[in-house]
Amino acid sequence: MPTPPEPHTGAITLADGDVPAIQFDNVEKRFGDHVVLQGLNITVRRGDRVTLIGPSGSGKTTILRLIMTLEEANGGFILIDGRPLTHELRDGKRVALKEKHRNEMRKRIGMVFQQFNLFPNMTVMENIIEAPVHVLGMRKDDAIARGRELLEKVGLPEKANEHPASLSGGQQQRVAIARALAMEPEILLLDEVTSALDPEVVGEVLNILRNVAETTNVTMLIVTHEMQFARDVSNRVLMFDGGRIVEEGPPDEIFSHPKEQRTKDFLSAVL
Ligand SMILES: Nc1ncnc2c1ncn2[C@@H]1O[C@H](COP(=O)(O)OP(=O)(O)OP(=O)(O)O)[C@@H](O)[C@H]1O
């Protein structure tokens, strides 16, 4: 008898000809002997908003870092818009792609981190225009005009000439969001973007991101402990444990009617 397919593989069937924004095909990631992700398959459609939940150490951040090419997988393939990110299959062998290719691919992806990672010696505007000018080759005037629009969008139009240190944590994170959007990414990765913030400014950052979700088509992958935010913004939730997807579905289903015991235990601990 053929083996039945794994119940929750994260892979979904797309309409013919529909190329996924992100595809993980049998991805493995190890740190030394520690296998963090094994045989992982994920398909993310264009415009999807996918939240990754699961206990600490289950591999959520590693998935975002692999997509951002801050880490490299030890096996399998990651495809962005149908194109290999770092490795491809050539004559039956898994071959690493050149740095130039990776750099091209990376331009399509933006990431906002828990620690805002702004350049401290640059002004807010310089932080925002740095990559558009130096990586995309955008004209400085155009980048500044776009930077102004983005500062409006994140509610900080008056902060263009300030340095990060003079801003609150919430304001710095809003600048980091503007900086990520300045590259006009097709994919936006959000890694616990409110975890380092004082509780009173969490709401302002989440509202900005709700607005980004409502006003753009950017594909989002979100790691967060803010379950209400995940519920509001995402259309799919993937529950991880031990580097595998144990359950997935729309947020209402996962949060209100989880099926797997591990999901129930995780949610009862965080909700
Ligand atoms: N650079 C690294 N070197 C060694 N081990 C690592 C490294 N990065 C992550 N790990 C390990 O990989 C596992 C998965 O980590 P990861 O940060 O992806 O989990 P997570 O689900 O995001 O956890 P958290 O919710 O605590 O952020 C953990 O056991 C972690 O210790």
69-116: per-residue pLDDT in tens? 999 999 999 999 999 999 999 999 999 999 999 999 999 999 999 999
Q: Tell me the residue type at 113.
A: F
Where do the domains of the chain lie? Answer: 48-58+107-270
d(CA 56, ligand 1 centre) in Å: 8
The number of the ligand 1 atom at minimal distance from the alpha carbon of 32 is 4
Domain 48-58+107-270 falls in which CATH fold? Answer: Rossmann fold (3.40.50)
Please report which confidence band the pLDDT of residue 271 belongs to, taking 50, 70 and 90 as the band edges: confident
- For atom 2 of ligand 1, which residue has the closest CA? 31
Four-point Cα dihedral 196, 85, 80, 138, nearest 10: 70
SS3 74: coil
The number of the ligand 1 atom at minimal distance from the alpha carbon of 29 is 12
Distance set, CA 102 to CA 8, 66, 150 (Å): 30, 12, 27
Centre a 10 Å sphere on the Cβ of residue 96 and count the other Cβ atoms it contains: 11
d(CA 177, ligand 1 centre) in Å: 23
Average pLDDT score over residue span 208-232? 94
3 pLDDT above the threshold of 50: no
8 Å CB contact between 109 and 97: no
What's the pLDDT at 86? Answer: 96
- For atom 17 of ligand 1, which residue has the closest CA? 61
- Reported ipTM: the value is 0.96
Chain segment 189-211, per-residue pLDDT in tens = 999 999 999 999 999 999 999 99
Indicate the helix (H) or strand (E) that contains 131: helix 124-134
Cβ-count burial 221-242 (b if 16+ within 10 Å, e if not): bbbbebbebbbebbebbbbbbe
What is the CB < 6 Å shell around ligand 1?
Answer: 31, 36, 54, 56-62
Indicate the helix (H) or strand (E) that contains 261: helix 261-270
